[in-house]
Chain A
Amino acid sequence: MVQATPLVHSAVSNSIKLNLSWVDILMIGIYFAVVIGIAFVARSRVKTSMDFFLSGRSMPAWITGLAFVSANLGATEILGMAANGAQIGMATLHYYLIGAVPAMVFLGLVLMPFYYGSKVRSVPEFMLRRFGKPSHIANSIAFAVSNVLIAGINLYAMAIVIEAMLGWPEWLAIIVSGGFVLVYITLGGLSSAIYNEVMQFFVIVAGLVPLTIVGLNRIHGWGGLVDALKHTQSAKLLSTWAGTGIGDVTNPIGANWLAIVFGLGFVLSFGYWTTNFTEVQRALSAKNMSAARRTPLIGAFPKLFIPFLVIIPGLIAAATFGNQLSADATSGKLTYNDVIPKLIQLYLPTGVLGIAVTGLLASFMAGMAANVSSFNTVFTYDIWQRYIRKDRPDGYYLTVGRWVTVIGVLIGILTAFIAASAGNIMTYLQTLFSFFNAPLFGVFILGLIWKRMTGVAAFWSYLAGIVAPAIVYTAYLLNNKLFETATAETLYGAIISFVTVIVLGLILSTFTTPKTIDELKGLVYGVGKIDLTKDVVAGDTAWYRSPALLGTAALVLCVVLYLPFL
């Protein structure tokens, strides 16, 4: 085949500085003007603390569904998954097809009736109802602390990219983006956050689609990409399940299929998507049970296709300048995380460039805003109202919520500055926090199917489930030969955490007294009845809105999308 242009970029510059024209800057400006506008509109509708923290439980399913996937579409997700695409290739699909989507279906079909039906205002509150105060305090504090710190780490991650793309100094990027989040969440609360998440979703897609199309065109289509990868000896990047045999692990993740299915799929992803309040909060803001159950199910469909908009650019980068990518951020070379900004710089002309940059900036901020808007809810309702200042009028808690938002963002900004001077420690912290969901999922799932599980068992197994993977992780830091890759470590860490919770939960429950059946109504599978048709409106019964149908369709698509990349 005669090629008009060289396929492989022999020497791309290390810089990802973008050349923005006034048109691109105008589009960024328009977006942020709309964000602030939305905040003021949302402000005028906030009349109660429930309006501020849970949008007054009034949102339609399409909005909460898109916000559900978008709240997770922050800096770490988009840049990180594209980095995975360049590093481990199509195997990145596991995060979506065996991880996120089945977990979302499980949340919508199985767990949501318990959450929404029990009318709790947060996930820790569910913990309180099912297991009592000790577990509730532990869960609330773990969530509040980890979330505000993660917000700060995300803020720092975003500041580095803004610095590299736009040339702003880090401190300015941290303060400006933190300031934006502060203004729009303090004014409009969760409604502001959700509206922006939906807007962000469409803009980032409008930026990533042209990037993928132009990238594929420049490499002469999918066939050209496959040829180029084979040419650079990276053909392994094209398969998902090859080399995952037990005892015969040759895949880039460094884990066998059992660890992938159980660790990444069952424990880590189910833990994240079904017990992380940042996600569940979006569904709790839905207007009725039907909309709440459809929230993660509607979110599942975009989630099935987003991977192609990040993995394919990652693969294109691997094929065209993969040999110049480094995993080490201090090497001064391009890192895997730079893949998306680099491709934007190489391929997008003024116009779509502005859209793509707007989408990235918006997604960075939305990610942080999602952390902050769930942090303030848990802090106000679960910590302040429950244990510090009870029985005040509603307006008091609304005011507290606004102040907690301000303080949360300020701590986030502070964390970002600390991260700037101790980047690595922060990455470690984030990995540690990722373990918080796995034990919580273990506790929830056992407590959900087994009415005999006690509060004492929940509390101690939850703590043990946090400590166990932390030990494994520390051991890995001391001796990195224990696991093939860092990703493999997280999978096994999650499995160990989950097993610890189940075993300890079973043992401790047999020695302690469970709650009475009466107290467990609507909180345990098969105990009491949950009204799935409460507040149902005419349109909710349409066949295409059936949760079972949506869930099944999403799972079938999971299998189908794997087929071309076995």
Chain B
Amino acid sequence: MADKTDPHRSDPAPSEMSDADKDRLVKSTRRFDLRRILGALFVVYGLIVTIVGIVDYSSDIHRTEGIAINLWTGLSMLVLGILFFVWDHFSPVPESDIVHSAEILEEEREVGEGKKIG
């Protein structure tokens, strides 16, 4: 039943995947690497909190009795966010991993159907 409605069945069979297909697959997978999402979130949060830390500097110090907590947290989050991008840049998901998981689609279906242990 779901076969007809499943748009992914129309994907090129893995064995026929051309180099251009593989390239596109690798790019689209890497674009949404979790490290980039985390990096973006923390850079945005870091900037917001740092700005609050500068604007509200004196009221923060008063509230916390001496720690510019927004400034410190904001800058730390900013650094962490950048580190996620650096990590992603220097060690992207290996191409072989991405292509491999696309190639075993049939096998995965059989495992899902409970026909094959694997």
Contacts and interface: CB of A to CB of B under 8 A. Distances in A.
Interface of A: 4-5, 23, 26-27, 30-31, 34, 38, 41, 45, 47-51, 53, 56, 58, 60, 63, 118-119, 121, 195, 198-199, 202-203, 206, 209-210, 213-214, 217-218, 287, 347-352, 354-355, 381, 385-386, 390-399, 537
A404 B93 CA distance: 32
Interface in B53-111: 53, 56, 59-60, 63-67, 69-70, 72-74, 76-77, 80, 93-94, 96-97, 101, 105, 108-111
B3 A38 contact: no
A121 B109 CA distance: 13
B49 A396 contact: no
A199 to B, nearest CB: 6
B42 A202 contact: yes
Contact of A349 (B3, B8, B64): B64
B68 to A, nearest CB: 10
7 contacts: A38-B37, A58-B101, A206-B45, A351-B49, A351-B60, A395-B1, A537-B97
Nearest to B5: A395
A41 B32 contact: yes
Contacts of A217: 64-67
B20 interface: no
A214 B101 contact: no
A206 B3 contact: no
A352 B49 contact: yes
Given A23-B52, A199-B41, A394-B108, 17 more contacts: A26-B48, A27-B45, A30-B44, A48-B108, A48-B109, A119-B111, A119-B118, A206-B76, A210-B73, A213-B67, A217-B65, A352-B49, A355-B49, A395-B2, A395-B9, A397-B113, A399-B2
A47 B111 CA distance: 13
A116 to B, nearest CB: 12
Contacts of B115: 391
Given A30-B41, A352-B73, A393 B2 contact: yes
Contacts of A119: 111, 117-118
A26 B64 CA distance: 23
Contacts of B41: 30-31, 34, 199, 203
A397 B37 contact: no
B105 A47 contact: yes
Nearest to A37: B37
A394 B69 contact: no
B97 A287 contact: yes
A194 to B, nearest CB: 9
Contacts of A23: 48, 52
Contact of A394 (B38, B52, B109, B118): B109
Contacts of B67: 213-214, 217
B101 A56 contact: yes
Contacts of A218: 64-65
Contacts of A56: 101, 108
Interface in B16-56: 29, 32, 34, 37-38, 41-42, 44-45, 48-49, 52-53, 56
B48 A27 contact: yes
A49 B112 contact: yes
Given A50-B108, A396-B1, A347 B44 contact: no
Contacts of B97: 58, 287, 537
Contacts of B53: 351
B12 interface: no
B3 A395 contact: yes
Contacts of B93: 60
A42 to B, nearest CB: 9
Contacts of B1: 393, 395-396, 399
Contacts of A58: 97, 101
A386 B114 CA distance: 8
A351 B112 contact: no
B41 to A, nearest CB: 6
A355 B73 contact: yes
Nearest to B77: A206
Contact of A48 (B66, B112, B114): B112
A347 B113 contact: no
Given A48-B105, A56-B108, A398 B2 contact: yes
Contact of B73 (A202, A206, A381): A206
B49 A397 contact: no
Contacts of A48: 105, 108-109, 112
Nearest to A220: B65
B12 to A, nearest CB: 13
A209 B74 CA distance: 12
A198 B38 contact: yes
A351 B3 contact: no
B73 A351 contact: yes
A137 to B, nearest CB: 16
Contacts of A195: 34, 37
